[in-house]
Amino acid sequence: MTEESGGGRSRQLPVFHCPYCGDEELTPYGDGSDGWRCGACLRAFTVRLIATGVNE
Ligand SMILES: [Zn+2]
């Protein structure tokens, strides 16, 4: 609902490791702003921030 491309708030999150195999060979993937492709396990996935300042 707050996915506004170009607004500056939904920029692509930096992902440094594949959450599935741990490899670092990640490249942007797809049309969305949060798609990544892992060159090691060939998975495509998204990482979405759902909250900040969560204490519990
Ligand atoms: Zn992977």
Query: Does some domain include residue 21?
Result: yes
C-alpha distance across the termini of the chain, in Å: 24
Beta pairing, strands 35-38 & 44-46: antiparallel
Structural domain of 20: 11-49
Strand partners, 44: 37
* 35 CA → ligand 1 middle, Å: 13
* 55 CA → ligand 1 middle, Å: 29
Q: How many domains does the chain have?
A: 1
Query: Does some domain include residue 19?
Result: yes
Contact in structure between 34 and 12 (CB atoms under 8 Å): yes
Q: What is the per-residue pLDDT across 2-47, written as a single tens digit (0 to 9) for each?
A: 444 444 455 667 889 999 999 999 999 988 778 999 999 999 999 8
* 11 CA → ligand 1 middle, Å: 22
Query: Does some domain include residue 40?
Result: yes
Q: Is 33 helix (H, G, I), strand (E, B) or coil?
A: coil
Q: Is the pTM of this model over 0.85?
A: no
DSSP 41: T
